Amino acid sequence: MSYDFPAFIALSPVQQMAHRCGIDIRNCRSWGNYRDLVVSENDRTSGALITRIKKEADCLSTGEKPVLQAMLHAADFSRFADGLSKTTWSTLDRTYGDHATAVALAILRQ
């Protein structure tokens, strides 16, 4: 497994989650670009991005929520990601395939 950004952004669960949250990640080329995009979008909308993500989190499957949390972690919103679930680690135990790969890449980002 490659621990790079292109592998992360190419995963279907990451693309789908970004779309659901209203974040266009197609032009991001690095973890830094991704972080800057999420931070600037949240700033530009006076926090509306995080509000939208919080609402979206209530409707996610067991596999999708860890992907969202990993994406937030990769964008330096770890504290918010932690607040989305009190059972993060047990949820990860039930996360497989590309969803698990997305989480791993975000945690191990280089």
- For the chain, the domains span 5-107
Model confidence over 17-42: pLDDT tens digits?
A: 999 999 999 999 999 999 999 999 99
For residue 87, give every residue at least 6 positions away whose Cβ sits within 8 Å of its Cβ, in sequence order, or none: none
Rounded Cα distance between 57 and 32, Å, is 24
pLDDT at 1 (0 to 100): 47
Give pLDDT tens digits for 36-78: 999 999 999 999 999 999 888 888 888 898 899 999 999 999 8
pTM, whole model, 2 decimals?
0.83
Residue type, 79: R
